[in-house]
Chains A and B, each alone.
Chain A
Amino acid sequence: MVAYTIDGTIDGFLTAVHRAYYEGQDPISIIQEEPSQVDFFTEWIAVETDREKAKKVETAICERIGSEAFENVLCCHLSTVDDALTYAYKYIRLGFKKEATIYAMLGNDTVHHVNRICQKVRFEVHRMYGLLRFRHTTGGIFYAPFSPDHNITAMLAPHFAARLSDQWWMIHDTTRDIAALYNGEEWMVTALDVPPVVEYSDVEMQIQKMWKEYFENLAIKSRINPRLQAGFMPRRYWKYLPEMGGLN
């Protein structure tokens, strides 16, 4: 029985899939780090990332199963669910056998797991479209810190590039220290070794104050329901929301 460890990138994962096929192996697990308690029967192999092989697998998936399947695999990669990549690998294997019918196999265990993981990731992206808050800094850049559960920064960037197309902005994932940047024309995602020193402009404090007061006045007192509010907007996101007393 074999299992693979990879370097954590999508290319690494796709190389592992390539290896599984071309060396006739069927790994029971594909994860980033070897677990501390190693099972006597499992052989752990570290897979070296190879961009060429990864590209081949990507093309193969898109052609045989469809681009939707590849997007699902990407979502699994971006998620922080345990075993997400193992399920993604099984999904790819199943997809090569069944091709496009995999989209209809909603009762299948693997497909179901992958769909649930993708649902989690996409739901968080949608939530973040609403919950991300930009702050105007003295340099003129709009800065938005947040801490998502899954690695979704790159999925947020196209939406905000299209919407806030004439302002320079930065979306900073504080837990992973990566950021999406936009300069009025195109966006990119990079790692941040050094945390940015952010200074907010005066206008920013004025607007935040207006927003906070406006927000407080919106509640209808006879219908107050904190549990309902937290059900829609979990407390872990309140850290970066000005109206819920988050960072200034």
Chain B
Amino acid sequence: MQTKIPTNFCLQYAQVYAIIELINGIGMVHMNSLIVTGEDETRSKLNILGESAKYDVSCSSSGSTRKNKAGGVGNANVGGICHSWTADGRCVSLLKVLYTNDCIYDCAYCINRRSEDRERRTFTPKELADITIQFYRRNYIEGFFLSSAIKKSPDYTMERMVETVRLLRKEYKFNGYIHLKAIPGADPMLIKQGGMLADRMSVNIELPTKKSLKLLAPQKSQETILIPMTSLARNIKDMHSLKQYRYKTPDFVPAGQTTQMIVGASPESDFTIMKLSEGLYNNFKLKRVYYSAFVHNTEDSRLPAIAPPPLLREHRLYQADWLLRFYKFSAMELLSPQNRNFSVELDPKSDWALRNLHLFPIEVNIADYENLLRVPGIGVRSARRILTARRVARVEFEHLKMFGVVLKRAKHFITCMGKYQGLTVDNEKRIKLDLMSERLKRAMDIPKDEQLNLFRLFPEVFDPIPNTGLTGEL
């Protein structure tokens, strides 16, 4: 923590009347512009285009260390800051809107597709910049997220989006976080211009395979999606290397590149999706892949039968995604061609541990970081604390609880100074019960014939997030 705290801040008696005067009348107005005219029109655009953008689930505002400059407003916080949470529990940290929802494409799953009967609106760059600055000054948001439907052509749309971001950065002197979508098929020069201004850029991969993409979004193609992803990855790498030599090199997409795919709109298995994510992380050096549970918004025969959104599956994919990024797992360890989908009962890490009981127990005072991470109940923070603490003292079971280790799960897989508090290997069923989440166990305690309705009956059971602060981070 780097905040400077003055030690004598309490109870300094200032001129109280002067303060009240300041609030009531004597002060300066610091506004670049105020939205005074056309307010209703702007509001209606914001409602429609904000609502249209909510299926783009990326909410992160982290990864950039952009600083404020003299005469400017705003900065970026490297860990990201959540400003609010929607009624469905998702974090709101950016003003997420479409530039327009007037689309020339006709993708089967999208509410904004050409053949849907919807109100179509388009922002002007100035309107968007005004709204962003006004929200930012009130600390409603951390920054700006701009996506769009394709109006007229990819180039036309991308040019308008880049113009909005340029206006914000150069004329409104905005130094907060900006996430800009790259439109597949747009001129690479436009995308590069966007990258010099934005903190993060992304291209949605939409569907896991070429075949599904062709079926559900025939006007997009895997080539047009992969080209900007490749060029972004290359530019990020090149500019980063250049910065080692020339300090004054401007930042290009400092918070990295991400992508998103829809889960449940097409028949691919979890294995296919995880292999794809692993490839994206390794080859494109993406910061993050987002998974969006498919919500039925449109009627189309190409889509699967109507069902509630597959929230548990989305949750398992995020759990596995974390394992790939922070726990040094590989996709083949979690799933395989013989075992193509994640377990409903167990999270991927516990499932792996149960299949590999022969590798346990490990001694907490000796095991290295990678092995500690593999223990169910030990996460990244607990593992780091164990490593720190054991430099100066022996680690015993009562300490583990202080470090945040979930002993109910971990005790079957570790020893402390040689002592073991778990069950023996032939008690696999009972170990499994300890590894399952409590809510899931309660939900499964229902008659066999009703188990098919598991997802619909207990939507709150399949909440993605118990109370971990790690979701949405990074």
Contact = CB atoms under 8 A, between A and B. Distances in A.
Interface of A: 8-11, 54, 58, 71, 74, 101, 103-108, 112, 122, 125-126, 129-144, 154-155, 158-160, 162-168, 170, 178-179, 181, 184, 188-194, 196-199, 203, 206-207, 209-211, 213-215, 217-229, 231-233, 241, 243
B286 interface: no
B359 interface: no
B474 interface: no
B58 to A, nearest CB: 14
Contacts of A168: 22, 27-28, 30
Interface stretch (B71-79, B180-188, B195-203): B71-79
A224 B174 CA distance: 34
A223 B135 CA distance: 26
B402 A107 contact: yes
Contacts of B87: 219, 224-226, 229
Contacts of A223: 88-90, 293, 295, 309, 311, 459
A103 B34 CA distance: 50
Nearest to B71: A166
B446 interface: no
B11 A165 contact: no
Contacts of B398: 107
User: 5 closest A-B pairs (Cβ-Cβ)?
Assistant: A228-B89, A107-B399, A223-B88, A219-B87, A217-B51
Contact of B388 (A104, A184, A209, A210): A104
Given A164-B139, A210-B43, A211-B138, 20 more contacts: A103-B388, A104-B388, A104-B391, A107-B389, A107-B393, A131-B84, A134-B138, A137-B23, A139-B26, A154-B9, A158-B4, A163-B73, A188-B12, A189-B6, A189-B12, A197-B20, A220-B90, A222-B295, A225-B463, A228-B460
6 contacts: A11-B7, A107-B398, A138-B25, A140-B29, A163-B74, A168-B28
Contacts of A162: 68, 75
Contact of B23 (A129, A190, A198): A198
B267 to A, nearest CB: 21
B392 A130 contact: no
Interface in B284-332: 293, 295, 308-309, 311
B97 to A, nearest CB: 8
B432 interface: no
A133 B140 CA distance: 6
A191 B26 CA distance: 20
Contact of B402 (A106, A133, A206, A207): A106
A166 B73 contact: yes
A36 to B, nearest CB: 25
Contacts of A226: 87
Contact of A144 (B82, B139, B176): B139
Most buried by A among B77, B87, B92, B95: B87
A8 B9 CA distance: 12
A149 B8 CA distance: 20
Nearest to A98: B392
A217 B50 contact: yes
Contact of B85 (A9, A58, A143, A232): A232
Nearest to A180: B9
